[in-house]
Amino acid sequence: MTVTHILGYPRIGEKRELKFALESYWNGETDQSQLKQVADKIKLHNWSHQDNCELSYVTAGDFAWYDHVLGTSLLLGHVPKRHAKGFPDLDTLFRVGRGQSQSGCGCHGEAASDMTKWFNTNYHYIVPEFSSRDTFQVSWPQLFDEINEAQQKGHRVKPVLLGPLSYLYLGKEVEEGFDRLTLLPRLLTAYQAIIAKLEKLGVEWVQIDEPILALELDKVWLDSFKLAYQVIRGEVKVLLTTYFDSVVDTLDTIVDLEVDGLHVDLAAAPEQLEQVAERLPDDWVLSAGVVNGRNVWRANLYSALKQLQPVKDRLGDRLWVASSCSLLHTPVDLELETGLPTVTKNWFAFAKQKVSEVQWLAKALDGDDVAIQYCAQYSQPIIERDLSTWVNKPEVQKRIAGLNLKSGLRSAQYRQRAHHQKEVLKLPLLPTTTIGSFPQTGEVRNVRAAYKRGDIDFANYQSAMQGFIKDTVERQEAVGLDVLVHGEAERNDMVEYFAENLEGFQTTQFGWVQSYGSRCVKPAIVVADIERKKPITVEWSTYAQSLTDKPMKGMLTGPVTILCWTFPREDVPRETIANQLALALQDEVSDLQQAGINIIQIDEPAIREGLPLKANKHQDYLDWAVKAFRISAQTAKPETQIHTHMCYSEFNEIIESVAALDADVITIETSRSNMELLNAFEAFNYPNEIGPGVYDIHSPNIPSVEWIEQLIHKAATRIPVERLWVNPDCGLKTRNWEETEQSLKHLVQAAAQLREKLT
């Protein structure tokens, strides 16, 4: 019988139960036992579903309170000293992730640890911090408690563990001149202890994730794998797990390791199967990740069956069937989507359905006639979708074809534009602004929900939204910001809002995906040609501008970010989708500036995230990604100031492409990294204006005036002060008004004091 498993399951709950439980606990409304009850219910439900689908193993250890890297840090007793308050507990974890204990310890001044993206996904993790004094010991029992709990329920358990090399690689040194790889021997001692505990629990297989094996690693990192897996080798069998790209480049290293099997991602890199299967050691299993854990389209099970059958004939029971990666990157359950058209719903599979796909495919490989017939019939809607719903409208295709003749250049270069903008906008030194969104209160969300349900008509909805916008503008003027925003009360999400107002997208009701902690997003799905039939944001921005004499920013989400934060068609090039989005946004830019909006922000927080893992694919992606952004802004007049925003990204690899966007102002996240990200802009001599974030909006901490001044001073040592802006590091929708107003007052005060000193 073919062994089946998945690499992980969503932990937020079918209707985001974990999100609401976390936020209730953080707000002091519930205690820790109530929080854990919700988590336990979710875990039991997840295991039961895998068991009901007859998977060979249920996966344990994939649950995380904030993110799984932070969970690994606590497992290893590796917590920054500023957050350590005795033995690690749940509040320790929240202090590291959020910068503030929720148990009333009074630790309100602690800064949260740095956060960044998990490879090329929209999932975030807290970056481990390494120094020469670090030690590691098994300190957090969650993994072992979950294994024991699952076993007590009668499940055959395969725990998942982030591998030692990936854990080190994904962290950062906080001590100048220190090499974190020198910590490997100490770290391996802790991993030995973990494996020993797994043995005592009767674990047969452990899934050890080493996703960095899909990267192009330096020799010193590759060489370290052999030592690592010799040291941690025990009686428990190890499934070495890779995903997100091919491992052909590192296969020489992999096949020499002391492990018992290899998992590869065949959704991301199907071409690697032949070489991997051919070079697989005789006593290893091969876990084939054919069910895509990063998209919502049904698997083409019949195609997968034909792909794997020769490998099954060769390897027999040594071939396992699995999801390509953890299913945490997909929504939980398609069955909840009662509002989707039947024909459209038949195209999709969420996490719950993907578990069934894994099992049906395995049964077909074992020769089950019913399963073989099911795989053939199940794939038919995909074929029909390919033929009928990518509309290829002539007017869209004509505009796309014309792009080949255009470079996306604006009508004037930055220096000329800066001169025009200075005359029109009349902004002070160190102008202050925000990134776009303001607190989304319960009242705001309730009005949106009532309108969506049809409980109120558009006139009442519009009146309510205008009231929220007016309140937001008045609060900004009272604080003293120089460039205002309308606050985005009408937007549920920066991407979903545009998807709802553009042709070619399908949105869902419960298609939530965890980003980190309690933060969830609901990606739309690209199903057809993308078009803009009418203005989307113009009415709200012009109303906001009518309330103030200060400049009002128009707020748009960029084409690459919309692409990266939706589920794209799998049969259409991403570049094609990006170009269609760019043309739609170009029309919006034209209408905004015609309506008198002289500052327009086109957010691209996902442009680094979309970068392929392999360096030889970088330039092609960056070429079309940059082009798409420039097409969006191409019609902007010289006096129209184009902003863009990026957050939680490493810019060093793409700094030239960031500059090639040719935005007049770029705002970036730098508060958590203590301005470290500006090093890339200093070395490159970035030519345009920059707003390095000085206020970490993902933490409830209120930054002091002194803290903000210190960060601006640091920024001024790297970027000329006349090209610096002062702003938070991201939007403020997740914060409350009390925190927001106090923080922004400090921000404005710090900028004012520095203006006096500098002039």
CATH number of the domain residue 656 falls in:
3.20.20.210
Domain presence at residue 502: yes
Same domain, 453 and 423: yes
pLDDT of residue 726: 93
pLDDT of residue 410: 87
Q: Which of 100-114, 144-158, 674-688 has the lowest mean pLDDT?
A: 100-114
Look at residue 565 and tell me whether its pLDDT is greater than 70: yes
Look at residue 759 and tell me whether its pLDDT is greater than 80: no
Same domain, 374 and 413: no
Domain presence at residue 747: yes
Q: From residue 242, how far is each of 306, 323, 497, 631, 643 by CA, in Å?
A: 23, 12, 34, 36, 37
Same domain, 403 and 467: yes
DSSP helix/strand/coil, 676: coil
Domain end residue (candidates: 332, 364, 386): 386
As a whole number of Å, the end-to-end CA separation of the chain is 77
Instruction: Tell the residue number behind the tokens 């409304």, with chain if given.
Output: 29
Q: Is the dihedral of CA 751, 753, 754, 756 positive or negative?
A: positive
Domain presence at residue 106: no
Q: Which of 378-382, 438-442, 487-491, 513-517 has the lowest mean pLDDT?
A: 378-382
Same domain, 369 and 431: no
pTM of the model: 0.91
The binding site for 5-methyltetrahydropteroyltri-L-glutamate comprises 16-19, 117, 122, 519-520, 565, 609
Domain presence at residue 67: yes
Domain presence at residue 107: no
Q: Give the Cα separation of 399 and 540 in Å (integer).
A: 28
Look at residue 104 and tell me whether its pLDDT is greater than 60: no
Please give the structure tokens belonging to residue 380.
């038919």
Q: Which amino acid is at 573?
A: P
Look at residue 107 and tell me whether its pLDDT is greater than 50: no
pLDDT of residue 99: 83
Same domain, 359 and 402: no
**Residues 647-699: tens digit of each pLDDT:** 755 667 788 898 899 999 998 877 655 666 666 666 677 889 998 888 877 77
Q: From residue 542, how far is each of 466, 535, 545, 553, 603 by CA, in Å?
A: 11, 12, 5, 10, 19
* Secondary structure (DSSP) of 320-338: EEEESS-GGGS-S-GGG-T
Same domain, 499 and 627: yes
Q: Between 411 and 370, where is the model more confident?
A: 370
Give residue 183's domain range: 3-101+112-386
**Residues 444-503: tens digit of each pLDDT:** 999 999 998 999 999 999 999 999 999 999 999 999 999 999 999 999 889 999 999 999
Q: Give the Cα separation of 683 and 678 in Å (integer).
A: 9
**Residues 354-375: tens digit of each pLDDT:** 999 999 999 999 999 999 999 9
The binding site for L-homocysteine comprises 435-437, 488, 603
Indicate which residues carry an active-site annotation: 698
Same domain, 273 and 334: yes
Same domain, 382 and 399: no
Give the model's confidence band at 248: pLDDT under 50 very low, under 70 low, under 90 confident, else very high. Answer: very high
Domain presence at residue 313: yes
Domain end residue (candidates: 386, 408, 437): 386
Look at residue 272 and tell me whether its pLDDT is greater than 80: yes
Same domain, 365 and 431: no
Paired strand residues for 264: 288
Contacts of 668 by beta carbon, 8 Å cutoff, 6+ apart: 645, 646, 647, 649, 651, 677, 690, 691, 692, 693, 729
Q: Between 609 and 49, where is the model more confident?
A: 49
From the list 641, 645, 610, the residue with the least C-alpha distance to 731 is: 645
pLDDT of residue 681: 67
Please give the structure tokens belonging to residue 470.
């007016």
pLDDT of residue 401: 75
Q: Could you tell me if 285 and 314 are in contact, meaning their C-beta atoms sit under 8 angstroms apart?
A: no
The number of C-alpha atoms within 13 Å of 209 and in the hemisphere containing its C-beta is 26
Phi-psi region of 285 (alpha: psi -120 to 50; beta: other; left: phi over 0): beta
Same domain, 282 and 421: no
Same domain, 377 and 461: no
> What does the mean pLDDT of the chain come to?
92
Domain presence at residue 382: yes
Question: Max Cα separation, the chain?
Answer: 81
Q: Indicate the burial class of 337 (C-beta count within 10 angstroms; 0-12, 13-18, 19 or more).
A: middle
Q: Could you tell me if 247 and 213 are in contact, meaning their C-beta atoms sit under 8 angstroms apart?
A: yes
At 319, which helix (H) or strand (E)? Answer: strand 319-323
Look at residue 406 and tell me whether its pLDDT is greater than 60: no
Domain end residue (candidates: 332, 354, 386): 386
Look at residue 11 and tell me whether its pLDDT is greater than 50: yes
The number of C-alpha atoms within 13 Å of 147 and in the hemisphere containing its C-beta is 23
The number of C-alpha atoms within 13 Å of 575 and in the hemisphere containing its C-beta is 12
Q: Give the Cα separation of 631 and 81 in Å (integer).
A: 47
Instruction: Tell the residue number behind the tokens 């933490």, with chain if given.
Output: 699
Look at residue 307 and tell me whether its pLDDT is greater than 90: yes
Give the model's confidence band at 108: pLDDT under 50 very low, under 70 low, under 90 confident, else very high. Answer: very low
Please give the structure tokens belonging to residue 431.
């102008």
Same domain, 693 and 710: yes
Paired strand residues for 726: 432
**For residues 622-627, average pLDDT:** 94
Please give the structure tokens belonging to residue 129.
């911090």
Q: Could you tell me if 322 and 6 are in contact, meaning their C-beta atoms sit under 8 angstroms apart?
A: yes
Q: How many C-beta neighbours within 10 Å does residue 306 have?
A: 11
DSSP helix/strand/coil, 354: helix
Domain presence at residue 410: yes
Look at residue 235 and tell me whether its pLDDT is greater than 70: yes
Structural domains in the chain (count): 2
Q: Give the Cα separation of 644 and 630 in Å (integer).
A: 11
What is the 8-class DSSP label of residue 477? H
